[in-house]
Amino acid sequence: MSPLHDTSVRGFASDNYSGVHPDVLTAIADANDGHQVSYGEDAYTAHLQEVCAQHFGDAAQIFPVFNGTGANVVGLLSMLPRWGAVVCAKTAHIHADEGGAPEKAAGIKLLPIATPDGKLTPDLIAEEAWGWGDEHRAQPLVVYITQSSELGTVYTPDEIRAITDYAHEREMGVFMDGARLSNAAARLDLPLGAFTTDAGVDVVTFGGTKNGALGAEAILVLDARASDGLIYLRKHQMQLASKMRFVSAQLLALLDGDLYLRNARHANAMAALLRSKMEAGIADGSIRGVEFTQRTEANAVFARLPAGVADRLRESFRFYDWDASTGEVRWVCSFDTRSEDVDAFVAEAARLTSSA
């Protein structure tokens, strides 16, 4: 079949607008011949477990799933009793972008907290970490953090350790949404285990899809004491793949080697390039009225545009409003973003803002 879409069109809407990395497609094809036992009893999932131990430590257990929302819901469910609640940032994906899945599919109460940059701190967590033993209050038993965050910022290992220490002292677990874990590894220039297992995180997800997979995510239990019944919950929540070898093959393509890192480094570098070119335009006066609203530490750039510019810029490049009421927008780069895409985007921004 020939493509049904214009393959020359690219944008900055999301890292899941991009296609699949060729090595991932090859890995799927390579896994295709013959028969393998279904539901995870296959050679690819077994090897993935070994590879995950290399990244996250020998105690880590990996559970491949289909998508990030499912990874979050199943992972959190495994950490909570029926009366449990999750402390998270107001911008957390589980709170802002999952259609209420944690509440609806899992009955989990969320306790969201406003943050300046998408990152929680012990002081912020303290706003909702109280009331244990009070039968009137959903019990705050897990802290959810996102690495890299929904606002494109990255926690340092020390910041994570401060959160895990705070949480564990109060017998709370720590769940890390790693839909963009690779982008954080690239930013920090650290092995995946250094800011997850070694920083005291209990359960982390690994996002393959935004990093070049077709549709592959995983839940990693780093401390078995913090999670229970995950295999049963994955089935209940419809996240158990029958032909799991193909999900695992995608994750292997990324993690059995350094493709996850190369893809993330590239996406981050493109976001840094986009920001620096915009800043150069602002400095030389060719771009007017644009200001940045967050640090650019991973693969997303947040900016505020003059009124009317976002819609006109979107005629050439797709991207989303972040906060339409303030004119804040989000630009995301992918493993396949090209510097020519950035150049064309910045040139169009210059043209539109100088005539705005």
Binding site for ligand PLP (CB under 6 A): 67-69, 93, 146, 150, 177, 179, 209
Of 143 and 346, the one with the shorter C-beta distance to ligand PLP is: 143
Cβ at position 98, least distance to ligand PLP in Å = 7
Of 247 and 350, the one with the shorter C-beta distance to ligand PLP is: 247
Cβ at position 62, least distance to ligand PLP in Å = 17
Judge contact between 63 and 72, C-beta under 8 A.
no
Cβ at position 284, least distance to ligand PLP in Å = 34
Judge contact between 206 and 220, C-beta under 8 A.
yes
Position closest to ligand PLP via CB: 68
Cβ at position 217, least distance to ligand PLP in Å = 6
Q: Give the CA-trace dihedral at 81, 83, 87, 93, to 10 degrees.
A: 80
Cβ at position 15, least distance to ligand PLP in Å = 8
Of 60 and 218, the one with the shorter C-beta distance to ligand PLP is: 218
Of 64 and 68, the one with the shorter C-beta distance to ligand PLP is: 68
Of 36 and 69, the one with the shorter C-beta distance to ligand PLP is: 69
Of 146 and 294, the one with the shorter C-beta distance to ligand PLP is: 146
Cβ at position 102, least distance to ligand PLP in Å = 11
Q: What are the backbone dihedrals phi and psi of residue 173, each rounded to the nearest 5 degrees, phi first?
A: -90, 165
Q: What is the DSSP letter of 192?
A: G
Query: Quick one: 346 exposed, middle or buried, by C-beta within 10 A (0-12, 13-18, 19+)?
Result: buried
Query: Quick one: 41 exposed, middle or buried, by C-beta within 10 A (0-12, 13-18, 19+)?
Result: exposed
Residue 99: count of CB within 10 angstroms of its CB: 9
Q: Which residues pair with 303 in a beta bridge?
A: 292, 329
